[in-house]
Amino acid sequence: MRDLLFTSKVTTTARAAGSTVRVIRDPAKLVGESGRRLLVDLSLQGAIEAAAAWVAAGGGEAIGFVSHVDTATAEAARQGGLTRVLSRGAFTNQLEELVK
């Protein structure tokens, strides 16, 4: 995630839910990371490819979010194998459940 305020919202919500969160700002650094769920800012260059590779390597589920008007990126993420793709608004509305 590039947006520092939004990143803070995600990490604060996760910690309040008792979850551990690790923020990786460079999708290329996702290689070799473990976890059960990946929350992906699809607006980052290379995020779709990195998330799809993470899922293929047995990383768990990948949930991407993107602006509701960026339908091309949303479709590319679905085609790339992400588990779920949400608009940023839907992601924010579901955040408490997503970080559990």
- The radius of gyration of the chain's CA atoms, rounded to the nearest angstrom, is 12
Q: What pLDDT shows up at residue 3?
A: 78
Spatial separation of the C-alpha atoms in residues 66 and 97, rounded to whole Å = 18
Spatial separation of the C-alpha atoms in residues 55 and 84, rounded to whole Å = 12
Residue 9 clears pLDDT 90, i.e. is over it = yes
Domain architecture of the chain: domains with CATH: 4-26+35-88 (3.40.50.2300)
Residues 45-64, mean pLDDT to the nearest whole number:
93
Closest CA to 97 of 86, 3, 71, 49: 86
Closest CA to 53 of 25, 73, 82: 82
pLDDT (tens digit, 9 = 90+) per residue, 10-36?
A: 999 999 999 989 999 999 999 989 999
Residue 87 clears pLDDT 90, i.e. is over it = yes
Quote the pTM value.
0.89
Residues 45-56, mean pLDDT to the nearest whole number:
95
Spatial separation of the C-alpha atoms in residues 82 and 17, rounded to whole Å = 24
Residues 56-76, mean pLDDT to the nearest whole number:
94
